[in-house]
Structure 1
């Protein structure tokens, strides 16, 4: 029988250090690299690894995540059999930072009973990486492991676990007897009856858990060697397709070392920055070392340096906003920044 994988993405995590960017969205739906969401990476990796059934377990603020994923069409997961499944948490009380919460899985145990895949891959939703899980499955079965935890080379756990689906069901059903609340508990029990193995991944991987980490990881994408490690032709990262016109560059605009998505109107200067879809940058505006999310409007003669603008932010003419690489200036979604407010 061909070994098949069931994908399970735990999207319940909430990092307080990302609070300014998570007020209106789940961490999994956090925009990244101009046109992607964080969840696109693990979801694309699963699809590229031949996984055809993926369950996503969110906790709260998941409207934007559902809108982004839709039926799963952009990941070839809109299928009559298997496909993409969405299981919102029945409770907001449990600890969402425990990846693979058995209590959350238990509320949807019928899904696991009906699954035909022999193995399950349980993953967090906030790691930026490009990995083929098929090689890990082969290594796992050849090593006769009960549970394999994926680790970064010379680093800690990536909070990803490979396990037989039948054993996962057993761990869920016996959680009250064993005291295991999540996959981490099962892996870290020194008296465990199971064979626990560590698989070392030596590729590029960053777990997004703070504003500073999000900012630095984004800025690193402007380095070609980092970009090539993450965006691999043979293993593409898929995302929601939006049909928009190309960006228009007005005469006199200047762009250096920047990533600019479709549908923008650039009249000013952009350097070492990531600009998402539909952004408007006015004449005489200077944007350096910034992350500008979708449909922001930056009016004439603004100066922004080391700034993160969430979606739909308007920056009035003549405004200056300045942060640092270690502490970027963050403007929350849908707000307005004016020259008088920041003088």
Structure 2
């Protein structure tokens, strides 16, 4: 493909509550065995984009570890590769990324040293499948300066989380408002953009000279009447996980057969870093219904409508319902978990009871499992 990729994975969001205390949002576990960033990386690989930069910043340790080898997504080519860029103190600059445009500006040499004519910019906190080639073909056909991939938001209460746009009959964007409190429109940006590489360099350098740091506000919205900015609308599955509720719902979506088949049975599939773990083990008396159970789990109790990530131990007489249990959690005997997200590496003492009432409850415990 005649494009390089940039994945913006450095942000934080307080709406993730305790879930973002120890990891970047792009590193959040998804669907039992994956990370959020795997979806953007897999889309890049399946679209034959061989040169991809991931810009990380906030709580990036686990994300950087996950990205330590490019082989899992098949970027290990002499002419390409996977590049992970974190903020770097230099003689000219000692600041962290001040925004999405500034993150690109501080790594502008990546763009200048590339030869591909186009750039695909994506976010690391979204779950979807996409052939970026189709977006690029549309971009070229429209003779666009920037193409914004967009979708329909069916829930009015979610509008304030996204950039809302209005297009004319030719799909040219005429209005673009970032995270409005209310809006009469329901077409939202997915945070995926296609732009010519040289034009991106020019716009980013101009924004830096003017002290502007945000890609959406200071480039897309600022230039919407001066540049040819078009929307490319999709109707396939797309979800942004940047709130605890959205993260919970996205994982629950993978309990639906049609969603699982779409992501894992239909080509191209999603790729991730593989751990050497034994298969899940179901001991006598275990009951599992409509759930995803990852490798390394040991199940003794009842699991219903839940997603269990790697290395989860479910004790005797436990009941797990409508919950997301993250990696390496120990659930003591007679524990009841319902409508919850249990943080990774937690130890839940025997006879504990947690139930989310009205909203998703996040369970964070720091017990020592070896003295129970």
The alignment's TM-score, normalised by the length of structure 2, stands at 0.84
C-alpha separation in 1, matches of 2:248 and 2:300 = 24
Is 1:171 matched with 2:206? no
Alpha carbons of structure 1 residues 147 and 248: separation in structure 2 relative to 1, 3 Å: same
Kindly state the Cα deviation for residue 290 of structure 1 after the two structures are TM-superposed.
0.9
1:177 Cα offset (Å): 5.2
| Native 8 Å contact 2:321 2:337 kept in 1 | yes
Counterparts in 2 of 1:191 and 1:256: CA distance versus 1, 3 Å: closer
Question: Structure 1, residues 11-49: CA drift from partner, whole Å, max 9, x if none?
Answer: 122111103111111111011111111101111111111
Q: Are 1:143 and 2:174 matched, yes or no?
A: no
Q: Is the 8 A contact 2:57 2:97 kept in 1?
A: no
Q: Counterparts of 1:218 and 1:36 in 2: how far apart (Å)?
A: 11
Query: What count of residue pairs does the alignment treat as equivalent?
Result: 330
Is the Cα–Cα contact under 8 Å of residues 222 and 257 in structure 1 kept in the other structure? Answer: yes
**Alignment-derived partner of residue 336 in structure 1:** 367
Q: Does structure 2 conserve the Cα–Cα contact (< 8 Å) formed by 1:55 and 1:84?
A: yes
Q: Show structure 1 runs of 5+ residues with no match.
A: 339-343
Is residue 42–residue 271 contact of structure 2 (8 Å, CA) maintained in 1? yes
Cα distance between partner residues in 2 of 1:214 and 1:327: 12
Q: CA deviation at 1:309?
A: 0.9
- How large is the Cα RMSD of the aligned pairs? 1.9
Q: How does the TM-score come out when normalised to structure 1? A: 0.91
> Residues 180 and 144 (structure 1 numbering): CA distance in 2 closer, same or farther, change over 3 Å?
farther
Residue 159 of structure 1 pairs with residue 191 of structure 2: yes
Residue in 1 that maps onto 2:101: 102
Equivalent residues of 1:219, 1:273 under 8 A apart? yes
Measure, in 2, the Cα distance between the counterparts of 1:175 and 1:232: 43
CA distance in 2 between counterparts of 1:304 and 1:203 reads 32
Q: 2: distance between equivalents of 1:168 and 1:318?
A: 57
Report the alpha carbon displacement of residue 78 of structure 1 after superposing the two structures with TM.
Answer: 2.4
1:191 deviates by 6.1
Q: Does 1:85 align with 2:83?
A: yes
Consecutive aligned runs of 4 or more in structure 1 exceeding 4 Å deviation: 91-96, 176-180
Q: CA deviation at 1:178?
A: 5.9
The match for 2:257 is 224
State the partner residue of 1:122.
121
Question: Which SS does the other structure have where 2:262 is aligned?
Answer: helix
